[in-house]
Amino acid sequence: MNLTVTESAAVEVQKFLEAENINNEGGLRVRVVPGGCSGFQYAMNIEEAPQATDEVVEAGNLRLFVDMFSAQYLDGVQIDYVNSVMGSGFTFNNPNSSGGCGCGTSFSA
């Protein structure tokens, strides 16, 4: 699976890992869950270790944990972190999505 994280996103994730005192076994869980106005939305959380059935993706110095359901929607996705006048946060560039919503937090596939 090809899931990438930009340098700016990696810096932000690393801050969370350090704040939670996560060791080298830990990483960022990236998921696709049903919801939002377009059908699916992204979810991320810090975890101490992957689950047995997770795909573990090495992205620079980060470990990303992806479950089997989410993997089908996350292949080719780039996670970025943006700072702008309108606010800051993580964004997902997903070539697999067939549409999205006006709020930018959900997608359809």
Domains and CATH numbers, the chain: 4-95 (2.60.300.12)
The pTM for the full model equals 0.85
Average pLDDT over residues 69-97: 88
Phi, psi torsion values for 46, nearest 5 degrees:
-85, 135
pLDDT of residue 102: 54
pLDDT one-digit tens code per residue, 12-56: 999 999 999 998 899 999 999 887 766 788 899 999 999 999 999
Residues 6+ apart with CB under 8 A from 21: none
Helix (H, G, I), strand (E, B) or coil at 2: coil
pLDDT value for 71: 95
Tell me what the mean pLDDT of segment 94-101 comes to. 69
- Judge whether 57 and 1 are in contact, CB under 8 Å: yes
Indicate if the pLDDT at residue 69 is higher than 80: yes
